Amino acid sequence: MFVIFGATGHAGRLTAIRLREAGLPVRAVVRRADQAKELAAIGCEIAFADLMDPASVAKAIEGAHAVQMICPVPSGHADPEHAMRTMIDVAAQALRANAPQHVLAISDYGAELDMNTGITRLFHYLEQQFSASVPRLTLLRSAEHMHNWSRVIPVALATGMLPSLHHPLTKRFPSVAAQDVGALAATLLREGAPVTATRIVSIESMVRVSPMDVARMLQEEAGREIVARELPRDQWLPVLTKGGLSAKHASLVVDLYDAHNAGHIDVEADVTERRFGATALAEVLAPLVRQAVRDAQ
């Protein structure tokens, strides 16, 4: 049995679909009944769990020979760092008590760094806790998800300016489509547990992009002029909190982009197996732009 946490997300959903297409048994872990319909329709067994609840997580992994674990940064939480660390501790405890043959954890570029990298620092903690709890572990380190641009596309369409925390605007950085992460995760799960205690695999798209590239792609899709603009550093916190993030969540984002802009967040050289997703950024941006246009109407 393959147990997939985060099965309703962009990555986890693709993992479940690909495993089911291969005829393999999948238990999709969701939080609410309304999230289960599509997954049940493709033949997934459904389990309900909350990553803050040890009993439900322990029950969800019963009988699993492989588990895919995603511990998301809790959006809208007043203290997302504390909440995510709690999720990680709960998951690690459950996996330590009833270890499956193989655990695949979705991690992040830069998670190997023991320094202040904001959100990525939490994935460093995840890797530490899981490495100490699981006998056979695959860490799938993902570059920045392309879907993150959905947060600022409405602003770009309304104003003709794409605000960017990536500085400078010409710097190309790694990113990846979430569906490519999910598809690779399914492949790695099917390959089975690593021979060594921990296997580290990275994934990004085949082409790195800059904020200027993103603005150009948005312009082509929207049919109107859109230019990239560096959001001044002193405006990051107020803009992020005005956009709905808590002060502590906004601080994590600021620290992350400080680390990005300093050149710290990238693939770990000479350590990871490198894989490349086939989905181009324009393929991800196009439906996001169309959705933003519909929402604005």
**pLDDT > 80? residue 219:** yes
Does this model's pTM top 0.85? My answer is: yes
Q: Give me the mean pLDDT over the 20-25 stretch.
A: 98
What's the CA gap between 179 and 142, in Å, rounded?
11
Q: Give me the mean pLDDT over the 5-19 stretch.
A: 96
How far, rounded to the nearest angstrom, does the alpha carbon of residue 44 sit from its chain's CA centroid? 22
Predicted confidence (pLDDT) per residue in 119-154, tens digit: 999 999 999 999 999 999 999 999 999 999 998 999
Q: Give me the mean pLDDT over the 31-54 stretch.
A: 94
**pLDDT > 90? residue 270:** no
What's the CA gap between 207 and 177, in Å, rounded?
12
* Between 271 and 218, the higher pLDDT residue: 218
Angle, helices 178-191 vs 10-21, to 10°: value is: 40
Would you state the pLDDT for residue 75? 83
Would you state the pLDDT for residue 272? 74
Buried b (16+ CB within 10 A) or exposed e, 152-178: bbbebbeebbbbbbbbebebebbbbbb
* Termini Cα distance of the chain: 45
Buried b (16+ CB within 10 A) or exposed e, 98-114: ebbebbbbbbbbbbbbe
Q: Which of 164, 143, 127, 124 is nearest to 266 (CA)?
A: 143
* Domains, in order of start, for the chain: 2-144+177-204+265-278 (3.40.50.720)
Contact by Cβ (8 Å): 252, 83: no
Would you state the pLDDT for residue 22? 97
Adjacent-strand bridge partners of 229? 163
